Chain A
């Protein structure tokens, strides 16, 4: 009886996933990912997924819209602007590293061929600081959120357009690693990212509606009422991993960088609307 129960549990757990012997291209992944949501929530406009759970939760949306009238992230944008304009000790500023100006969030994450790695915006900011003799910022909490808020605000309306260059197999490998991370079960609860935000998007977990994965990357950094402050995308990755009782990885380490690369690619075509406000 016990054995039968075990076998049944295994069967149920396996159900919903198939072993993929066939390789899929990023373009095919993108189409399958976005089509999944079109079928799942046929009344939601694709562009509206940038609003996260509020694209599928009308009551939550009303509350959120009321919050957005006096956005809690506004002071962070102002602080970030001051950071952008304030010279480093050597007299240079962020502008010297990013001559095209602060509206640059749409360029990240991207594949850095020279470095052979995914370059994220927070990493690029810290590289700039280090190159100018400044101490790098912490990746989850603190001042990095202010400057990211400012840069995201300035980048609003830019369209997500992550490219996986075909001339560099390392780039495709990074994308594939990010994809593998996304669909991998981990932690004591044995969940993958996809279990919550793809398969069960829209379902209620305790009191929360599970947000759809599509559009997840467009609105970061995010002011979360739970945090009482603005936090980065990698802080959220950390939180998600902890919630399934897995040991989180290092913020802006290879695992989360590649995850960001894949996840942002999945939102290609959606406009940036950060910083956001969430529960």
Chain B
């Protein structure tokens, strides 16, 4: 009877230990993954900023994503980082499309 109890306890402890290790590993993997997304978003923001095309909220989103990552909210952090990256890319594309001066057609030059 005592032997069975010990076996049960060991089994339970084993499962608990392995799941904790798996969770910790999963955390590490997620942290690294989301950090990569945040880095990519920051690179996109910087690329836009270099051509004067950074949007107002991109930097704030990245900052918020970093905070969420610290708290362990990987899903929300990744979502925000992706959104910021998209803003960075769009800001850059916008600035590139505006490289040449375009005077409005309603201004009449005589």
Q: Which residues of A contact B (CB under 8 A)?
A: 16-20, 24, 28, 31-33, 35-36, 176, 179-180, 183-188, 190, 194, 198-199, 241-242, 245-249, 255
Contacts of B109 in A (CB 8 A): 24, 28, 31-32
Q: Which residues of B contact A (CB under 8 A)?
A: 49, 52-59, 87, 90, 94-95, 97-98, 100-110
- Tell me if A32 and B56 are in contact (CB < 8 A): no
Question: Could you tell me the distance in whole angstroms from the C-beta of B39 to the nearest C-beta in chain A?
Answer: 19
> How far is it, in angstroms, between the C-alpha of A16 and the C-alpha of B52 when the chains are bound?
23
Q: Is the interface of A mostly helix, strand, loop or mixed?
A: mixed
- Tell me if A185 and B98 are in contact (CB < 8 A): yes
A–B complex contacts, Cβ < 8 Å, 17 sampled:
A17-B102, A20-B102, A31-B109, A31-B110, A32-B110, A36-B108, A176-B101, A179-B101, A185-B94, A185-B98, A186-B94, A186-B98, A188-B90, A194-B104, A198-B107, A246-B56, A247-B54
Contact of B107 among A32, A180, A187, A242 (CB under 8 A): A32
> How far is it, in angstroms, between the C-alpha of A35 and the C-alpha of B58 when the chains are bound?
39
Of chain A, the residue at the smallest CB distance from B108 is A32
Contacts of A242 in B (CB 8 A): 56
A24-B109, A32-B108, A190-B94 known; A180-B55 Cβ under 8 A: no
Contact of A36 among B55, B101, B106 (CB under 8 A): B106
**Most chain B CB within a 10 A radius of its CB, from A186, A194, A198:** A186
Contacts of A245 in B (CB 8 A): 55-57
> How far is it, in angstroms, between the C-alpha of A97 and the C-alpha of B57 when the chains are bound?
41
